[in-house]
Amino acid sequence: MSTVDLTGQVALVTGGAGGIGAAVVRRLAKLGARVAVVDLDAAGAHRIASAVDGIAIAGDVTDPATMPAVVEQVEKELGRLDVVHLNAGIGGGQPGVAALDLARYRKLVGVNVDHVVYGVCAAVPALRRRGGGKIVITASLAGLTAMSSDPLYTLTKHAVVGYARAAGQAVAGEGITVSALCPGFVDTLLLGAAKEEFDAVAFPLLTPSDVAEAFQSVLADGKPGEAWVIQPGGKASPYHFRGVPGVGGGQIPPQVVLGSG
């Protein structure tokens, strides 16, 4: 894994009070960054932030006003913004193919998709002021393949991967790297009751620390628009997308499809 020195830099992490977010907060602090911990859980955000000499910001990331306010507060209190980890996410928990709990669906899209768009739109101007920076979005393997047990979660993570790929190419020329991190199943509260099922068959799970290590690899080596995969026992690496059929059946390379070629 490549080394990263973030001494003097400032990062923010959404969903930073627990699970993957808390592990990434600790990793960023270890690499030298001051970290703003953003979470709906105010007490949890303060607990993690105080442990790493960071700042805590409580807020609902599904509110369009939250992420612009977060970025403004980070720049005001910490003086700059260099690294953004848009990590907040929830599970769908319903099939969504014959019946739909509309309130739960809207909340799922709000956290998993809307917050990512709000976060990127708020962060890019701040990163431009620094001459560049990094945005890493937590997606999932469900953003690269079908997870039939939760089609709605799959929908949101496919959207996130697509957005990261396109947004990454859109701002690459400004020194801003937008990429996605797609972990397999991680041992966090998001698993819910499925954790017992995984344990019963000794299914290997990633730890939040594993994902934080993969996050560091993306920071060090990630290219604009890439989606990195991490699975138990393996190393983080970029996923290789195929091109789509072009005129006459030839393959159009992904970077051309994304508009950079």
pLDDT of the residue at 72: 98
Q: Which two tokens stand for residue 3?
A: 């080394």
Average pLDDT, the chain: 90
CATH of domain 10-257: 3.40.50.720
Whether pLDDT at 110 is above 90 = yes
**Phi, psi at residue 175, to the nearest 5°?**
80, 15
| Percent of the chain clearing pLDDT 70 (strictly above) | 87
Active site residues: 153
pLDDT of the residue at 3: 84
pLDDT tens readout for residues 25-48: 999 999 999 999 999 999 999 999
Whether pLDDT at 259 is above 60 = no
